[in-house]
Every structure is written in structure tokens, then in C-alpha cells.
Structure 1
């Protein structure tokens, strides 16, 4: 687990814990709605009775952090800092993998596909108000995708699927053998073209 919590952030949070006047009080760190576009990194007080046996623990000289087990892959490379400013201070939390955990060649194929869709494919489709998501992976490693937004019903969706999405996925996800579109393209309400 690679999480950086600066000394300034440790001291600031330890000061907040002292004001709670609860022996053994710590900080819980977790991601709300991990792996989604709505993911949010959260810090909360953690009383001794709220500790879970599956929590990961980060110990520092003056503070302890409990990391929710399900949030661990999404908190990889997280950075927590406290910067003093003229009017007080600012606690900042950056978790670059909160919306989509970092994947490796050993990650499940679904995670690899979702990572490529989120980081490489959807930013391009968003320019046309579109998106694509993974519905399932069929036997034989065939990805079933569903287009939405401006892509649903778009006259260029076949070209986008074959020359864009499928090519990108096949190049970047080893073991993927094909892509199918499960979208109902007769619905053209928001189609880009």
C-alpha cells in the first residue's frame, strides 16, 4: 500500500483527534463509491469500537490510520497534505486511482477493460457526449459493451466500435479476443450524428 501522508497532515489530524478527547481515537480513510466516476476520498474519526479486523493500518509517531480493505487498491498512490495559509490551512487529499484502480497484467480482465475504457476510450467519446461501459465478459474473453449518451443511435457507432474502441482494447488488454456491442441503436434521442 503506497499512501503518503505528510508530516503537516499528520500533525493537523492528530490535533483534531486530541480535541475529541476519546482514548484510542484514530482516522479512518476510505473511498466512497470506489471505481466509479463519483468516487470520493474520505477521512473520518474512527473510535476503537469501529475498527474492523480487515482494516489495513498505517501507524505514525502521533497518529494511526485505518484503511478500509475495499478501498486499498483505490488509495494506491494517494497523497494527503496540510498546507498553512494566511487564513488558516488547507487539507488536501489526492487519490489518482479512486475512480479506477491501477491495473497490471495480473489484474482480472474486467478490471483491465474498465481501466482502458475509463482512461483511454471515454475521454475521447465524451467530446461527443458519449460513453461506453463494460456489461460483461463472455466465455472466450469477448467483451460485451454498451454505448450511451451521444454514441447511442449515432450513425458512426460501427466505425467507432471497430476502428476505435475494439482496436484500443485489443491493443491494450492481453487475452481479449473480441468485442460485441449490446446497445439498442434504434434509440436516437441523444445521438451525435
Structure 2
């Protein structure tokens, strides 16, 4: 079952909202749009009896039922739904650290394993400079062709980052990769991090 956790305050808040809905047995449904991509969004919606999908997983909480979308479930591991009050009232928050992470293992296609490494380890480091790198292709001989964006594009240190950081990490983690090549046009320096 999904490793999603609802704090007591979130349960109380949602139970109060559900009590104001028309009809009996209204539950909530949790799903992720575009799971496993950088665009993943975790959503909570009302779910009247019969609106759940046959493959949904039921999470029975004391005050109400939660239906978990089957496709989203692995991406909801370690997710926390909380309700925090502040001067303005309160806010329901959903933290789903694995929503954007593609599910990969050693048998996954090479490009998926490279993208996983980029999203989970390499891009978080580049983000401090407003940069990112994405996989364009894997060409003959196991060369990963990468493109830099954001603050990395036009940055004078990009060769060092590429060879010392990204290439070493990639070769050590993914045996099929023998090297990396940069196809970014670094003559464009508008947003470069120096």
C-alpha cells in the first residue's frame, strides 16, 4: 500500500470539509498528474461513492476513506499530507518527494536510467546555479549526448562540470555509458552563472 501519511491535523481538516459535502460516504482521491516527470503534480479531490476507479487502492483512515490512484501509488512513497495553521488561517500541504522521480531499476532502458540519475543527483546540484542538464540521445559507443540549460548555458565552467562531475558520476553508476558530449550552444550567455 502507498506510503502516504496523513497527519492528524490534515485528517481533521479533511474530515471537516467532507462533512460539508452533499451525500453520504464522500471520500477523497489522491493522484499524481504526469508522475515520474519534472511536471508531476500531486492532487487531492473529492470522491463520491462510485467515482473511484476499479484499480484504485483503498486507504481506510478513521474519519474517512482515501482512494489512491494505482498508477500514482509508487510515486506517493514517503508522501506526507499535513495541515498547518498560520495567521491567515491554514493551509493543506502535500509533500511527495518521489512524485517527480521515474521508477527505474537495472533492467530499465538505458535512457530512463540516465534520466533518473540526471533528475535525482545531477540536476539538484546544478539547480543552485539555476542550471539543468537533459539527455538528448545515447549514440554509438555509449556516449550520452547532453544539453545544458538555464544558468549552465554559456557558463565558462561547463566543461569542468561536464567532465569532472557529470561524466565521472555517470560512468561510475551506469556501466553502458562510456562518456558524455555537450551539444549546448554556449555562445548564448544571457542567463549564465559565473
TM normalised by structure 1 equals: 0.77
Secondary structure of 1:119's aligned partner: helix
Contact 2:153 2:184 in 1 (8 A): yes
Contact 1:73 1:101 in 2 (8 A): no
Give the deviation of 1:175 after TM superposition.
Answer: 4.2
Contact 1:40 1:98 in 2 (8 A): yes
Bigger shift: 34-43 or 62-71?
A: 34-43
Structure 1: distance between partners of 2:120 and 2:41: 17
Query: How is 1:25-64 mapped onto 2 (pairs within 5 angstroms)?
Result: 25-64=26-65
Secondary structure of 2:121's aligned partner: helix
Secondary structure of 1:170's aligned partner: helix
TM normalised by structure 2 equals: 0.76
Deviation per CA, 1:45-87: give whole Å up to 9, x if none: 1123432223222122331112223322321111123457798
Structure 2: distance between partners of 1:156 and 1:86: 45
Secondary structure of 1:70's aligned partner: coil
Say if 2:13 is the partner of 1:12: yes
CA distance 1:12–1:152, shift in 2 (3 Å): closer
Structure 2: distance between partners of 1:73 and 1:3: 10
CA distance 1:65–1:158, shift in 2 (3 Å): same
Give the deviation of 1:17 after TM superposition.
Answer: 1.4
CA RMSD of aligned residues (A): 3.2
> What residue number does 2:188 align with?
187
Secondary structure of 1:69's aligned partner: coil
Give the deviation of 1:107 after TM superposition.
Answer: 5.2
Contact 2:118 2:133 in 1 (8 A): yes
CA distance 1:110–1:26, shift in 2 (3 Å): farther
Give the deviation of 1:101 after TM superposition.
Answer: 4.9
Unaligned runs of 5+ in 1: none
Unaligned runs of 5+ in 2: none
> What residue number does 2:153 align with?
152
Deviation per CA, 1:160-180: give whole Å up to 9, x if none: 211111112222335444333
